[in-house]
A = this chain, B = another copy of it.
Amino acid sequence: MKQRLHFQVLQRDPAGAARRGRLQLPHGVVQTPVFMPVGTAGTVKACDPQELQQLGYGLILGNTYHLMLRPGEQVVAAHGGLHRFMGWPGNILTDSGGYQVFSLAARRRVDDRGVEFRSHIDGSLHLLTPERAVAIQQALGVDIMMALDICPPHDAGAGEHEQACRRTTDWAERCLRARRDSAGALFGIVQGGLDLQRRRRHLEEIAALDFEGLALGGLSVGEGPEKMEEVVAALGPAMDAGRPRYLMGVGLPQDIVRAVGHGLDMFDCVVPTRNARNGQLFTWQGPLQIRHAAHREDTRPVDENCRCPACSRFSRSYLRHLYLANEILGVRLNTMHNLYFYAELMRRIRAAIERGEYSRWARDVLPGLEGRQSGQEKV
């Protein structure tokens, strides 16, 4: 069986759980902690894959739910996999489709077999089982696959959470059995809602299985940053230290900085790309709304110290104009800025761990990131 993934912890923060790692994957080495831009439908929205490389990304996320419905995994497979289909030479992780089935699809019905749902695009009926989730991800040919899980609303009752955990463990085992020898790495997902005891119990079940990585699911789904951090703080350091730890769907820069402090290694979120489309630009002094009238004749860049393709060539005034005129170039430049910011955030996070002063560094940057130090707008 091929070596699907090699993960090595290079350094640990002396004052906390943060760690600096190296993740070897079929399409190159990834330095952790790492942020993965989200490429929902076979493209990180508004980006050319060459731009993602230039920004320093080597691992992006694709959505199984979207790709199975459009264009269909067989179209992607006809190209020799998702890498070739979308012209991306780096690594790809796909989610299992479960999360989107629960958040987007209409009329879903879950039983022990899997989840039946209707496409949000054309209403067609689909059955996603653990075996099918793995088969689709294998057809996509990705580097890291995620096991099919059940993600209940954070405020679901104890019974629903217990059942979700039970099924998620059962499906996790079925996913591992369904995987071909030649396929990519497979990560298991820990559920359990906000109850720490249930979370810990489920972590034990999932960690006992032969996954190459472990993920926390069911967070950043409306529970709020404090409750999320409670779970991450309790679970992160308890996750197997020898495998990469992935916090799914998180998050804002401050969420990532905190989660790294609790020992998490991998992150993904639509925030940098989606908020870019809405004109929200991240800075170390908090986010900035480019549409505001204050920027009308401001010939300065968004951030004087930022070296992204937007800040090095264009003014706030121009970006505001593009936003108001609904120009695609505005979306492009805003997306470049935010993805550059996230890449730089992860570089600084890694450097702080390397210097052995992560906790102090995090304490210093958090007020700025949350816009608590300046006149800039809060998220």
Contacts and interface: CB of A to CB of B under 8 A. Distances in A.
Interface string A326-349: 011101110000000000000000
Interface string A53-68: 0000000000000000
Contacts of A87: 313-314, 318
A75 B322 contact: no
Q: Is the interface of A mostly helix, strand, loop or mixed?
A: loop
A230 interface: no
Interface stretch (A41-49, A132-140, A169-177, A253-261): A41-49
A71 interface: yes
Given A313-B87, A317-B75, A70 B324 contact: yes
Contacts of A313: 87
Given A71-B296, A328-B331, A322 B43 contact: yes
Contacts of A274: none
A196 interface: no
A45 B332 CA distance: 11
A87 B319 CA distance: 11
Given A42-B318, A71-B317, A78 B329 contact: no
A329 B75 contact: no
A310 to B, nearest CB: 10
A299 interface: yes
A168 to B, nearest CB: 29
B43 A329 contact: yes
Contacts of A333: 48
Contacts of A331: 328
Nearest to A335: B328
Contact of A321 (B70, B309, B328): B70
A129 to B, nearest CB: 25
Nearest to A329: B43
A1 interface: no
Contacts of A289: none
Interface string A4-47: 00000000000000000000000000000000000001110111
Contacts of A332: 46, 48, 328, 332
Sorting the interface of chain A by its residue count into under 10, 10 to 19, 20 to 34 or 35 or more gives 35 or more
Contacts of A325: 41-42, 70
A321 B78 contact: no
A46 B329 contact: yes
A43 B324 contact: no
A210 to B, nearest CB: 35
A102 interface: no
A317 B75 CA distance: 8
A48 B328 contact: no
Contacts of A70: 321, 324-325
A332 B296 CA distance: 27
Interface string A302-320: 0000000100011101101
A46 B48 CA distance: 12
26 contacts: A42-B321, A42-B327, A45-B327, A46-B328, A46-B329, A47-B329, A48-B309, A48-B333, A70-B321, A70-B324, A70-B325, A71-B296, A71-B317, A71-B320, A74-B297, A75-B297, A75-B321, A79-B299, A79-B315, A79-B317, A79-B318, A85-B315, A85-B317, A86-B318, A328-B331, A332-B332
